[in-house]
Structure 1
Amino acid sequence: MIKNIIFDFGDVFINLDKGIIFREMEKFGGSLDLTPELVELNGVYEVGGMTSEAFVAQLQNQYPKANAVEIENIWNSMLLDFPEERLEFIENLASESDYRLFLLSNTNDLHITHVEQKMGAERYARFKKPFEKFYLSHEINLRKPDAEIYQFVLDENGLKAEETFFIDDTKENTDAAEKLGITCWNIQVGKEDIIQLKSKL
């Protein structure tokens, strides 16, 4: 019996355009492909391993034609809209009190600051309120799909894997959680929506 639900954030609640960064950076001499250097840099930044200033400075080394403001704007441009029906959905789910709700997101300081500004403080507070815990990778120094991050959430909250349901748009992340005995929904962006959750439980 499912008692706990863990939600991803990007492309589950807030819409993303993950490719826009590379399309925009190409204008500054960057590659359209995700280079090993960028993967490593993003991984360090997502677990709080460097400041936003250091991260932007590192990107400037790779894209010397872009200034710091341009890089920040491009980095944040992947964050799109947050449909109201998804916000109302999570508020209604919380009000029913049938499940313990958690958020678990690979994110970073620049992105979450931008999301709060974009949504507005009141709407962002509405989003956080339904969750018992709001786990952001750069704050807990762990990231998906490492097994440690799922175990951390289970252990810190006394959750049993077999009673826990996890939603993420990245198959690598749901595959890792399933190995711990967590039931998962690898949500198909553009074909499925989080508001259909109850049909998946």
Structure 2
Amino acid sequence: MIKTIIFDFGNVFINLDIEGWQKNMLDTFQIDTLSEEILAFNNFYEQGLISTNEFLEFYIENFPKLSKEDITYVWNYILKDFPKFRLDFLKTLKASAKYKLILLSNTNELHISWIKENVSFYEEFKNCFDAFYLSHEIHLTKPNNDIFEFVLNENNINAKECLFIDDNQNNIKAANALHIQTWHITPYTEDVINLFETKNDLF
């Protein structure tokens, strides 16, 4: 029986445009692909191992024609709308008091700042969770095993009584390896509000 539900943030609650973001980034930077160094810095930033200022300075050094504002816009381009009906679903779920609710997201400071400014009900959303973990705050990222072990240990959770919802296949595989139940949600064709219809075998 499921007692805890762990949710990803992007493409579960807030919609993302990953392909558009990648294309816009390459077009803006006038490059064909992101270098290993850029990918590493992006990962450091997601883990909170470098500050926002250090992150932006790195991009300015590599793309001196761009301003910090330009880079911030490119970086946040991935973030789209957060339909309020998903908040309503979450609030109903919380009100039922049947499950421990946890958010576990690979999210950085610039993205969260944008969300706080553009999603009017962010604090209401955050308050629905019993625990709220952002990668840049806990210095751990999916799909590494240690982030899942951290959540299980911090909340005294039995993995087999836990459902993890994420749109990333690698994150799902990592959770499965620890015997966590999973839902690999498909953006735009599946929606978290249909959780109990889609995964009724677990509830």
Q: Judge same fold: TM > 0.5, yes or no.
A: yes
1:193 corresponds, among 185, 191, 194, to 191
The unaligned stretches of length 5 or more in structure 1 are none
Whether 1:166 aligns to 2:170 is no
The Cα shift of 1:25 comes to: 3.0
- Paired residue for 1:36? 36
* Paired AA for residue 195 in structure 1: I
- Paired residue for 2:15? 15
Structure 2: how far apart are the matches of 1:181 and 1:15?
28
RMSD: 1.3
The unaligned stretches of length 5 or more in structure 2 are none
- Paired residue for 2:70? 70
Whether 1:137 aligns to 2:135 is yes
- Paired residue for 1:58? 58
- Paired residue for 1:47? 47
The Cα shift of 1:32 comes to: 4.6
Structure 1: how far apart are the matches of 2:22 and 2:31?
6
Give me the identity figure in percent: 43
Contact 2:46–2:107 under 8 Å retained in 1: yes
Contact 1:52–1:110 under 8 Å retained in 2: yes
Structure 2: how far apart are the matches of 1:34 and 1:116?
28
* Paired AA for residue 140 in structure 1: I
- Paired residue for 1:151? 149
Whether 1:85 aligns to 2:89 is no
How high is the TM-score relative to the length of structure 1?
0.94
The Cα shift of 1:39 comes to: 1.9
Output one character per residue of 1:1-46: Cα deviation in whole Å (capped at 9) or x when no partner: 1100000000000001123333333344333534322221111001
- Paired residue for 1:3? 3
- Paired residue for 1:127? 125
Structure 2: how far apart are the matches of 1:20 and 1:32?
14
Q: How many residues align?
A: 199
Once the two structures are overlaid, the 10-residue window that deviates more, 15-24 or 84-93, is 15-24
Structure 1: how far apart are the matches of 2:194 and 2:28?
40
* Paired AA for residue 26 in structure 1: L
SS of the equivalent of 1:134 reads strand
